[in-house]
Every structure is written in structure tokens, then in C-alpha cells.
Amino acid sequence: MPPDWLPHQKLRDLLEGYELGCVYWYENGAWSRAPYPEDLDDDGLDCGMSRFADKEEVLGMLDDTTAARRSSEALLNHAERYGLTPELLEPSVSDSGGERWDLPRP
């Protein structure tokens, strides 16, 4: 069940306008999503995430925004173990040159 703090009405509006693909949230130290319907065969995640299926390609993308490949590998290792935290993501966000992201905090 999605937490009460999610902007449910905004999400419904986006869904009705076909602007919403998926919703994930970070709470209590873990990433979550709403449960899928039992009859859903394919959530589309493989298609949407297929460009991230190759670890070397992911590392190449991360190298563009992080200081060194070593930190990229560490970041990816944390992600593979479901251990990403805002503190681990902060260097990637601050190096991106874009606006400051509001990373989830426990």
C-alpha cells in the first residue's frame, strides 16, 4: 500500500493523462512500489530499463557525472545490494551540473 504522504491526487491526474509510467518511493531505508495486479504479466520495466542491463554501459553513464570509475563501481555495487542511500547519491547529483535534487531522507 502506498504511503499517505505521496501526492495521490497529483498521481491520479498524471495517470489519467497517460503521463505516469511507474511510481517508486523511498521510505524507512528502502525503495518500494505499489503491488502489481495478479494478472499483470509484464510491468514494462525490462523494456524501460533495458539500456541499464549491461553493467559496463551503466558504469560508462555514471562516469559522466561522478569523479572516478571507482566511485561509480561502488555506487553500482550498493544499488545491486539495495543499499543506496541519499548520502551515496549526493556526489552524483552535485556533479551533474543541473539543479539540486531533493533526495529522499529517512
Is 64:72 a contact under the CB 8 Å cutoff?
Answer: no
Residues whose CB is less than 8 angstroms from the CB of residue 86 and which lie 6 or more positions away in sequence, other chains included: 103, 104, 105
Higher pLDDT among residues 39 and 100, named by residue: 39
Distance (Å) of CA 40 to CA 44, 58, 88? 10, 28, 33
Average pLDDT value for residue range 5-21 = 87
Higher pLDDT among residues 80 and 4, named by residue: 4
Residues whose CB is less than 8 angstroms from the CB of residue 48 and which lie 6 or more positions away in sequence, other chains included: 21, 22
pLDDT tens column, 61-87:
766 555 556 777 888 888 878 788 878
Which amino acid does the sequence have at 38? E
